[in-house]
Chains A and B, each alone.
Chain A
Amino acid sequence: SQQGEEDPQALSIQEGENATMNCSYKTSINNLQWYRQNSGRGLVHLILIRSNEREKHSGRLRVTLDTSKKSSSLLITASRAADTASYFCATDAYNTRNNDMRFGAGTRLTVKP
Protein backbone atom coordinates (compact mmCIF):
# COMPACT_ATOMS: atom_id res chain seq x y z
CA SER A 1 0.00 0.00 0.00
CA GLN A 2 1.15 3.56 -0.58
CA GLN A 3 3.06 4.67 2.52
CA GLY A 4 6.07 6.83 3.27
CA GLU A 5 8.99 5.25 5.06
CA GLU A 6 11.29 7.49 7.08
CA ASP A 7 14.97 7.04 7.60
CA PRO A 8 16.63 7.01 10.07
CA GLN A 9 14.26 5.67 12.71
CA ALA A 10 16.01 7.71 15.38
CA LEU A 11 18.42 10.66 15.25
CA SER A 12 20.26 12.34 18.11
CA ILE A 13 22.16 15.62 17.60
CA GLN A 14 23.47 18.58 19.56
CA GLU A 15 21.68 21.90 19.64
CA GLY A 16 22.83 24.09 16.76
CA GLU A 17 23.51 21.18 14.40
CA ASN A 18 21.43 20.41 11.33
CA ALA A 19 19.07 17.42 11.22
CA THR A 20 18.24 15.59 8.00
CA MET A 21 15.46 13.05 7.73
CA ASN A 22 14.57 11.09 4.63
CA CYS A 23 11.37 9.61 3.29
CA SER A 24 10.86 7.08 0.51
CA TYR A 25 7.60 6.02 -1.05
CA LYS A 26 6.45 3.50 -3.61
CA THR A 27 4.00 4.90 -6.13
CA SER A 28 3.35 8.19 -7.87
CA ILE A 29 1.96 10.99 -5.74
CA ASN A 30 0.17 14.30 -6.03
CA ASN A 31 1.83 15.73 -2.96
CA LEU A 32 3.98 14.81 0.01
CA GLN A 33 3.63 16.31 3.46
CA TRP A 34 5.78 16.46 6.58
CA TYR A 35 4.35 16.52 10.09
CA ARG A 36 5.76 16.80 13.60
CA GLN A 37 4.44 15.05 16.69
CA ASN A 38 5.46 15.93 20.19
CA SER A 39 5.13 13.10 22.68
CA GLY A 40 1.51 12.36 23.49
CA ARG A 41 0.15 15.05 21.19
CA GLY A 42 -1.54 15.27 17.82
CA LEU A 43 0.41 15.85 14.63
CA VAL A 44 1.24 19.34 13.41
CA HIS A 45 1.45 20.02 9.68
CA LEU A 46 4.84 21.46 8.66
CA ILE A 47 5.12 21.58 4.88
CA LEU A 48 3.28 20.33 1.78
CA ILE A 49 5.27 19.90 -1.40
CA ARG A 50 3.55 19.14 -4.70
CA SER A 51 4.83 16.58 -7.17
CA ASN A 52 5.91 19.31 -9.61
CA GLU A 53 7.98 21.11 -6.96
CA ARG A 54 11.57 20.23 -6.10
CA GLU A 55 12.25 22.29 -3.01
CA LYS A 56 10.34 24.27 -0.44
CA HIS A 57 11.35 26.37 2.57
CA SER A 58 9.59 27.41 5.73
CA GLY A 59 11.69 29.17 8.35
CA ARG A 60 14.42 26.74 9.42
CA LEU A 61 12.82 23.89 7.48
CA ARG A 62 13.82 22.86 3.98
CA VAL A 63 12.07 20.07 2.12
CA THR A 64 13.24 18.52 -1.14
CA LEU A 65 11.39 16.13 -3.40
CA ASP A 66 12.88 13.84 -6.03
CA THR A 67 10.04 12.11 -7.85
CA SER A 68 12.44 10.10 -10.03
CA LYS A 69 13.84 8.46 -6.88
CA LYS A 70 10.51 8.59 -5.05
CA SER A 71 12.16 10.25 -2.09
CA SER A 72 11.99 13.40 0.00
CA SER A 73 14.15 14.92 2.68
CA LEU A 74 13.42 17.28 5.56
CA LEU A 75 16.28 19.45 6.78
CA ILE A 76 16.05 21.35 10.05
CA THR A 77 18.82 23.90 10.32
CA ALA A 78 20.29 25.27 13.55
CA SER A 79 18.31 22.80 15.62
CA ARG A 80 16.94 23.65 19.05
CA ALA A 81 15.98 21.48 22.00
CA ALA A 82 12.35 22.37 21.23
CA ASP A 83 12.69 20.56 17.88
CA THR A 84 12.79 17.27 19.78
CA ALA A 85 9.83 15.33 18.40
CA SER A 86 8.87 12.60 15.94
CA TYR A 87 8.70 13.61 12.31
CA PHE A 88 6.48 11.85 9.79
CA CYS A 89 6.13 12.05 6.05
CA ALA A 90 2.76 11.35 4.46
CA THR A 91 1.83 10.69 0.87
CA ASP A 92 -1.37 10.46 -1.10
CA ALA A 93 -1.99 8.11 -4.00
CA TYR A 94 -1.84 9.63 -7.49
CA ASN A 95 -4.11 7.14 -9.18
CA THR A 96 -7.12 7.55 -6.91
CA ARG A 97 -9.57 10.38 -6.52
CA ASN A 98 -9.11 10.20 -2.79
CA ASN A 99 -6.74 12.52 -1.04
CA ASP A 100 -6.38 10.52 2.14
CA MET A 101 -2.79 10.36 3.30
CA ARG A 102 -0.69 7.45 4.43
CA PHE A 103 2.00 7.93 7.09
CA GLY A 104 5.32 6.26 7.72
CA ALA A 105 6.64 5.10 11.07
CA GLY A 106 8.48 8.35 11.67
CA THR A 107 11.93 9.56 12.69
CA ARG A 108 12.41 10.29 16.40
CA LEU A 109 14.64 13.33 16.66
CA THR A 110 16.37 14.21 19.92
CA VAL A 111 18.16 17.54 20.14
CA LYS A 112 20.45 17.75 23.17
CA PRO A 113 20.96 21.17 24.76
Chain B
Amino acid sequence: NAGVMQNPRHLVRRRGQEARLRCSPMKGHSHVYWYRQLPEEGLKFMVYLQKENIIDESGMPKERFSAEFPKEGPSILRIQQVVRGDSAAYFCASSPGGQNYGYTFGSGTRLTVV
Protein backbone atom coordinates (compact mmCIF):
# COMPACT_ATOMS: atom_id res chain seq x y z
CA ASN B 1 0.00 0.00 0.00
CA ALA B 2 1.95 2.97 -1.27
CA GLY B 3 1.89 6.13 0.76
CA VAL B 4 1.24 9.61 -0.55
CA MET B 5 3.13 10.05 -3.80
CA GLN B 6 4.29 13.46 -4.88
CA ASN B 7 6.06 14.27 -8.10
CA PRO B 8 8.32 15.63 -9.15
CA ARG B 9 10.61 15.64 -6.10
CA HIS B 10 12.51 18.63 -7.45
CA LEU B 11 11.29 21.19 -9.95
CA VAL B 12 13.22 24.11 -11.41
CA ARG B 13 11.34 26.82 -13.25
CA ARG B 14 12.35 30.15 -14.69
CA ARG B 15 10.44 33.24 -13.65
CA GLY B 16 7.21 33.50 -15.59
CA GLN B 17 6.85 29.79 -16.28
CA GLU B 18 4.17 27.52 -14.89
CA ALA B 19 4.73 24.89 -12.21
CA ARG B 20 2.53 21.82 -11.84
CA LEU B 21 2.85 19.74 -8.70
CA ARG B 22 1.13 16.37 -8.46
CA CYS B 23 -0.10 14.42 -5.48
CA SER B 24 -1.61 10.95 -5.40
CA PRO B 25 -3.21 10.26 -2.00
CA MET B 26 -3.00 7.00 -0.14
CA LYS B 27 -5.39 4.33 -1.34
CA GLY B 28 -8.74 4.83 0.35
CA HIS B 29 -8.06 8.48 1.24
CA SER B 30 -10.41 10.99 -0.35
CA HIS B 31 -9.18 14.13 1.44
CA VAL B 32 -6.11 16.00 0.23
CA TYR B 33 -4.30 18.96 1.79
CA TRP B 34 -1.53 21.13 0.38
CA TYR B 35 1.02 22.97 2.52
CA ARG B 36 4.00 25.19 1.75
CA GLN B 37 7.17 25.26 3.82
CA LEU B 38 9.99 27.74 3.67
CA PRO B 39 13.44 26.74 5.04
CA GLU B 40 13.54 26.53 8.85
CA GLU B 41 9.84 27.37 9.08
CA GLY B 42 6.61 25.52 9.76
CA LEU B 43 3.98 24.43 7.28
CA LYS B 44 1.57 26.99 5.96
CA PHE B 45 -1.86 25.67 5.03
CA MET B 46 -2.85 26.34 1.44
CA VAL B 47 -5.88 24.32 0.41
CA TYR B 48 -8.06 21.36 1.38
CA LEU B 49 -9.80 19.33 -1.30
CA GLN B 50 -12.05 16.34 -1.64
CA LYS B 51 -12.78 14.65 -4.92
CA GLU B 52 -13.96 17.33 -7.37
CA ASN B 53 -14.49 19.85 -4.57
CA ILE B 54 -12.44 22.58 -2.93
CA ILE B 55 -13.40 22.59 0.75
CA ASP B 56 -11.12 25.33 2.10
CA GLU B 57 -8.80 27.49 0.03
CA SER B 58 -8.28 30.19 2.63
CA GLY B 59 -4.50 29.73 2.50
CA MET B 60 -4.15 30.07 -1.24
CA PRO B 61 -2.82 33.32 -2.71
CA LYS B 62 -5.60 35.00 -4.66
CA GLU B 63 -3.66 35.14 -7.89
CA ARG B 64 -1.59 32.64 -9.87
CA PHE B 65 -2.32 29.67 -7.60
CA SER B 66 -4.98 27.04 -8.21
CA ALA B 67 -5.65 23.48 -7.10
CA GLU B 68 -7.84 20.65 -8.24
CA PHE B 69 -8.60 17.08 -7.27
CA PRO B 70 -10.45 15.51 -10.19
CA LYS B 71 -12.60 12.42 -10.08
CA GLU B 72 -9.81 10.46 -11.73
CA GLY B 73 -6.12 11.10 -11.27
CA PRO B 74 -3.95 12.98 -8.83
CA SER B 75 -4.49 16.31 -7.17
CA ILE B 76 -2.69 19.13 -8.96
CA LEU B 77 -1.32 22.34 -7.46
CA ARG B 78 -0.71 24.79 -10.27
CA ILE B 79 1.35 27.95 -9.99
CA GLN B 80 1.23 30.26 -12.97
CA GLN B 81 3.88 32.86 -13.84
CA VAL B 82 6.16 31.78 -11.01
CA VAL B 83 8.27 34.31 -9.14
CA ARG B 84 11.34 33.77 -6.94
CA GLY B 85 9.22 34.07 -3.83
CA ASP B 86 7.38 30.89 -4.84
CA SER B 87 10.54 28.87 -4.18
CA ALA B 88 9.68 26.52 -1.33
CA ALA B 89 8.89 22.93 -0.45
CA TYR B 90 5.29 22.00 -1.18
CA PHE B 91 3.86 19.12 0.80
CA CYS B 92 0.71 17.18 0.14
CA ALA B 93 -1.08 15.13 2.80
CA SER B 94 -4.08 12.86 2.67
CA SER B 95 -6.52 11.41 5.17
CA PRO B 96 -9.70 9.33 5.17
CA GLY B 97 -11.52 12.38 6.54
CA GLY B 98 -13.12 12.91 9.92
CA GLN B 99 -11.63 14.05 13.20
CA ASN B 100 -10.04 10.81 14.35
CA TYR B 101 -7.29 10.42 11.80
CA GLY B 102 -3.88 11.92 11.37
CA TYR B 103 -2.48 12.94 8.03
CA THR B 104 -0.14 10.94 5.84
CA PHE B 105 2.36 13.21 4.14
CA GLY B 106 4.21 12.87 0.89
CA SER B 107 7.93 13.60 0.58
CA GLY B 108 7.27 16.99 -0.95
CA THR B 109 8.18 18.83 -4.13
CA ARG B 110 11.00 21.32 -3.86
CA LEU B 111 10.33 24.15 -6.25
CA THR B 112 13.19 26.44 -7.21
CA VAL B 113 12.49 29.49 -9.32
CA VAL B 114 15.54 30.90 -11.09
Contact = CB atoms under 8 A, between A and B. Distances in A.
Interface in B67-94: 91, 93
B56 A104 contact: no
5 contacts: A50-B99, A98-B55, A99-B31, A100-B56, A103-B35
Interface residues of A, number: 23
B105 A48 contact: no
A18 interface: no
B30 to A, nearest CB: 12
Contact of B105 (A42, A50, A106): A42
B100 interface: yes
A43 B99 contact: no
A11 interface: no
Nearest to B42: A105
Given A42-B107, A44-B105, A100 B55 contact: yes
Nearest to A51: B99
Contact of B43 (A33, A48, A88): A88
Given A42-B108, A106-B42, A101 B103 contact: yes
A90 B105 CA distance: 13
Given A31-B99, A42-B107, A45-B104, 14 more contacts: A31-B100, A33-B103, A41-B107, A41-B108, A48-B101, A48-B102, A88-B42, A90-B103, A92-B99, A100-B56, A101-B103, A103-B42, A105-B42, A106-B42
Nearest to A101: B103
Contacts of A12: none
A80 interface: no
B73 to A, nearest CB: 21
Q: Which of B93, B95, B98, B102 has the most CB of A within 10 A?
A: B102
Contact of A102 (B45, B97, B98): B45
Q: Which of A31, A42, A99 has the most CB of B within 10 A?
A: A42
A92 B43 CA distance: 14
Nearest to A30: B99
A3 B96 CA distance: 22
A38 B95 CA distance: 21
